[in-house]
Amino acid sequence: MNDERRTRATSHRGAVAVEFALIFILLVLLLLAAVEFGRAWYTVNVLSSAAREGARVGAMQGGGDVDREAAIRARIGEVLASAGFSDVTVKIEMSQGYGQPLKVEIERDFRTAATRMLPQLEHLRLHGSAVFNQETP
């Protein structure tokens, strides 16, 4: 009778170990997905913040288009440098005159740790944009 109980306990322990291994793999994958989503969310927030700061500077900056674009790019560079981003694409659309829209778009490739498992994520491009009305003529 005692040997039968030991056999049952051992087989239950083995089943528990297998179940734990399966659940553990799923939990690790879920954790990695949450971390990658958090990194992507952070990147979008930084890009949007940089675009907003650049558009704000451009909307308040007087002078010619060349000076305003230089000021916009300088401010974007400052914001992105604090986050460690350097490889971005910046598009600036300026209209002439007071109250006209000024649009700034920033794009960046997002590199995930999961590209080996999901090659569809290899060319994920994230962007942030902002539109401000120009406050100076």
The answer to whether 130 touches 93, Cβ cutoff 8 Å, is: no
18's CB contacts (< 8 A; 6+ apart) are: none
Mean pLDDT along residues 24-36 = 89
Of 10 and 98, the structure prediction assigns the larger pLDDT to 98
pLDDT per position as a tens digit, 90-129? 999 988 788 889 999 999 988 887 766 667 667 788 999 9
Sequence-ordered list of residues with C-beta below 8 angstroms from that of 114, at least 6 positions apart, any chain: 32, 33, 36, 121
The pLDDT of residue 86 is above 80: yes
Q: Cβ distance 72 to 92 under 8 Å?
A: yes
Domain count, the chain: 1
Is pLDDT above 60 for 72? yes
- Whether the per-residue pLDDT at 50 is higher than 90: the answer is yes
- Which span out of 7-16, 44-53, 56-65, 104-113 was modeled with the highest average pLDDT? 44-53
Q: Among residues of the chain, what percentage have pLDDT more than 70?
A: 85
If one counts every other C-beta atom within 10 angstroms of the C-beta of residue 109, the result is 13
Q: Which domain holds residue 70?
A: 2-133
Category of 97 on φ-ψ map: left (φ > 0), alpha (ψ -120 to 50) or beta: left
